[in-house]
Amino acid sequence: MNDPAAAHAALTAFLRGVERRGVVFAEWQGGNGEAGDMALASTLRGFREVAAGIAFAEWPRRFWAMLLAAPQLRATVRVAPDAAPAHVAALGSGPRAALLLRLVAGLAESEAAAVLGIARPTYRLALQRALPHRDDGVADPDAWRALSTAAQQAVRALPPERLERIAMLRDGIRPPPAKPSTPAGTRAGWVWPATIAVLVLTAAALAATWWGPWIAPPPAAGGARIQTEELPPAATPAARFDPATALESHRDLELLIAQATGAFDDDADPAFEAWLVGALGEADGATARPADGVAADDSAGAPDAPR
């Protein structure tokens, strides 16, 4: 780029785009967040000095190669379980770098191979060995997706304070020391008085609950607290059935007439007829079958009728 202003803007945009991924890459590769931040800050500062003499298309490869070559990331250390996912922490330094160049840096195979200084087939083989595998030796795509999601979340969840600290390290400014945490045995001066006040209030509340039922309530003004009032007499109904209409509308009118006139057959049984009607109605409602089907299969499914 011939325009200095445009070159500066492009460099700033590039470094801003790789900064967050560089934080996660350095921490997961080096196994320590503080050492990773120092490596990234040194790489950002060094890349600014050499970017003008590098073609723009070569910036990604050169940046990640410089970060991977930082002394803080080249030391052989055991990655802490909380510094990276378990699968990443269990890998060696070389396979871990091959995996992170694809997982976190997002480089293509050719670019990642160039960063490591190896041929593309060799990088592909290293990446295959670094991928998570199932017990039968087959690559586990679910575990790979879980690692990808964890990497994306780690990049997005970086606090602004950490990025500000990296920027200060990049610019050669000593960051302020972290605030010392309060020792576990040191308590604020108001803790004990507040605790005693809470205990006193709790005891008072319990005492009020205990003695409350034994305290007689104050007499109500004007005599008894419960007042009674007689209800007015029931109103006369608007209409009633006369005896003839009540008999005509009776549901068992035919049975009543037959009983009064003695018109039952010898085998007639009113109790059985009433039971049968009820049983058939229940069967129709439960199975939606015709009533005659139930009667036809009386010997198989219907219970014995009372006699």
The per-residue pLDDT for 69 is: 93
Lowest mean pLDDT among 100-104, 143-147, 241-245: 241-245
- Give the pLDDT band (50/70/90) at residue 194: confident
- Degrees to nearest 5, angle at CA 166 with 160 and 169: 145
User: Do both 27 and 113 map to the same domain?
Assistant: yes
The answer to whether the beta carbons of residues 1 and 56 sit under 8 Å apart is: yes
Q: What is the mean pLDDT of residues 41-46?
A: 91
- Position 173 pLDDT exceeds 70: no
User: Do both 151 and 282 map to the same domain?
Assistant: no
- Position 270 pLDDT exceeds 60: yes
Domain termination residue (choose one: 170, 192, 227): 170
Lowest mean pLDDT among 79-93, 186-200, 207-221: 207-221
The per-residue pLDDT for 156 is: 92
- Position 60 pLDDT exceeds 50: yes
CATH of the domain at 55: 1.20.140.160
- Give the pLDDT band (50/70/90) at residue 221: low
Does 224 reside within a domain?
Answer: no
User: Do both 153 and 25 map to the same domain?
Assistant: yes
User: Do both 161 and 286 map to the same domain?
Assistant: no
Does 225 reside within a domain?
Answer: no
Q: What is the mean pLDDT of residues 257-282?
A: 66
Does 51 reside within a domain?
Answer: yes
The per-residue pLDDT for 82 is: 62
19/267: higher pLDDT: 19
Expressed as residue numbers, the domain containing 21 is 10-170
Does 86 reside within a domain?
Answer: yes
The per-residue pLDDT for 295 is: 47
User: Do both 137 and 256 map to the same domain?
Assistant: no
User: Do both 136 and 272 map to the same domain?
Assistant: no
User: Do both 268 and 128 map to the same domain?
Assistant: no
Does 279 reside within a domain?
Answer: yes
The per-residue pLDDT for 120 is: 94
Share of the chain above pLDDT 90, in %: 26
- Position 141 pLDDT exceeds 80: yes
Q: What is the mean pLDDT of residues 213-241?
A: 70
Does 74 reside within a domain?
Answer: yes
The per-residue pLDDT for 280 is: 73
The per-residue pLDDT for 138 is: 87
Domain termination residue (choose one: 150, 170, 190): 170
User: Do both 166 and 29 map to the same domain?
Assistant: yes
User: Do both 250 and 136 map to the same domain?
Assistant: no
- Position 113 pLDDT exceeds 60: yes
Average pLDDT, the chain: 77
- Position 186 pLDDT exceeds 70: no
- Number of structural domains found in the chain: 2
The per-residue pLDDT for 114 is: 94
The answer to whether the beta carbons of residues 40 and 34 sit under 8 Å apart is: no
User: Do both 20 and 109 map to the same domain?
Assistant: yes
Does 215 reside within a domain?
Answer: no
* Nearby residues of 39 by Cβ (< 8 Å), 6 or more positions away: 26, 30, 67, 70, 71, 72, 73
Does 176 reside within a domain?
Answer: no
Distance in angstroms (rounded) separating the CA atoms of residues 16 and 75: 27
- Give the pLDDT band (50/70/90) at residue 284: low
The per-residue pLDDT for 166 is: 84
The per-residue pLDDT for 296 is: 46
- Position 99 pLDDT exceeds 60: yes
Q: Please report the sign of the dihedral spanned by the C-alpha atoms of residue 50, residue 51, residue 57, residue 59.
A: positive
The total number of residues shown for the chain amounts to 307
- Give the pLDDT band (50/70/90) at residue 183: very low
What pTM value is reported for the model? Answer: 0.55
The per-residue pLDDT for 254 is: 72
Domain termination residue (choose one: 153, 170, 187): 170
The per-residue pLDDT for 181 is: 43
- Position 124 pLDDT exceeds 70: yes
Distance in angstroms (rounded) separating the CA atoms of residues 113 and 110: 5
User: Do both 112 and 258 map to the same domain?
Assistant: no
- Position 219 pLDDT exceeds 70: no
The answer to whether the beta carbons of residues 112 and 101 sit under 8 Å apart is: yes
